[in-house]
Amino acid sequence: MLLPQTKEREYRFRLALRMGLPIFALVIALVSHTLIGNYDTLQASFYVESLLLLVFSIYFFLYLIYNGYDVKITDDISKTFTREYLMEYLRKELIKSSNYTLVLVSIDNLHDINNLYGLKNGDKVLEESSKWLASYLEAQNIENFPLGHIKGGDFILGLEGLKEEYNTTIELMCLKSREFKVGDIEIKLSASITDTAYSKDLDYMVERLFTLQEEKRHTKEKEVQEALTPNELESAVLDAIENRRLSIMTQNIFEDEVTSFKECYVKLKSYSGKLLYQKSFMKIINKLGLGVEYDLMVLETILQNKNFNNETVYALNISPTSLRNNKFLSATKELLTHSSIKVMFILSEAEYFSHTSRYNSLLSTLKRSGVLIAIDRLGSIHTSFLYLRELDIDVVRFDTYYSSLQKLETHRAILDGFNSMAHEKGLKTWIKNLEDDASLALAKELKIDYTEGKILSNLEKIYEN
In this model, does residue 69 exceed pLDDT 70?
Answer: no
Confidence at residue 394, expressed as pLDDT on a 0 to 100 scale:
97
Evaluate whether the domain defined by 83-218 bears CATH number 3.30.70.270: yes
User: 173 and 192 in contact (C-beta within 8 Å)?
Assistant: no
Given pLDDT bands bounded at 50, 70 and 90, which one contains residue 40? low
In this model, does residue 226 exceed pLDDT 50?
Answer: no
What gap in Å lies between CA 145 and CA 123, rounded to an integer? 22
Nearest to 134 by CA among 122, 125, 143: 143
Given pLDDT bands bounded at 50, 70 and 90, which one contains residue 101? very high
As to burial, measured by CB atoms within 10 angstroms (0-12 exposed, 13-18 middle, 19+ buried), residue 374 is buried
Nearest to 463 by CA among 299, 307, 342, 296: 307
CB atoms within 10 A of CB 302: 21
Cβ contacts of 412-419, under 8 Å, gap ≥ 24:
412/442, 412/446, 414/379, 415/379, 415/446, 415/448, 416/446, 418/378, 418/379, 418/385, 418/388, 419/446, 419/447, 419/448
Q: What tens digit of pLDDT does each residue of 324-382 get? A: 999 999 999 999 999 999 999 999 998 999 999 999 999 999 999 999 999 999 999 99
Given pLDDT bands bounded at 50, 70 and 90, which one contains residue 68? very low
Q: What tens digit of pLDDT does each residue of 172-182 get? A: 898 888 889 99
In this model, does residue 130 exceed pLDDT 90?
Answer: yes
HSE-up of residue 320 (Cα within 13 Å, Cβ side): 22
Q: What tens digit of pLDDT does each residue of 154-196 get? A: 999 999 999 999 998 998 898 888 889 998 898 999 999 999 9
In this model, does residue 220 exceed pLDDT 60?
Answer: no
Q: Is 226 helix (H, G, I), strand (E, B) or coil?
A: coil
Q: What is the CATH number of domain 235-464?
A: 3.20.20.450
Question: What's the Cα-to-Cα distance from 380 to each of 247, 377, 384, 402, 428, rounded to whole Å?
Answer: 29, 6, 8, 9, 18
Tell me the angle at which helices 291-304 and 278-288 cross, rounded to the nearest 10 degrees: 120
Mean pLDDT for the stretch of residues 109-133: 92
Q: What tens digit of pLDDT does each residue of 319-330 get? A: 999 999 999 999
In this model, does residue 216 exceed pLDDT 90?
Answer: no
Confidence at residue 8, expressed as pLDDT on a 0 to 100 scale:
60
Name beta bridge partners: 315: 263, 344
What gap in Å lies between CA 233 and CA 231, rounded to an integer? 5
What gap in Å lies between CA 77 and CA 86, rounded to an integer? 15
| H or E segment to which residue 259 belongs | strand 258-269
What's the mean per-residue pLDDT of the chain?
87
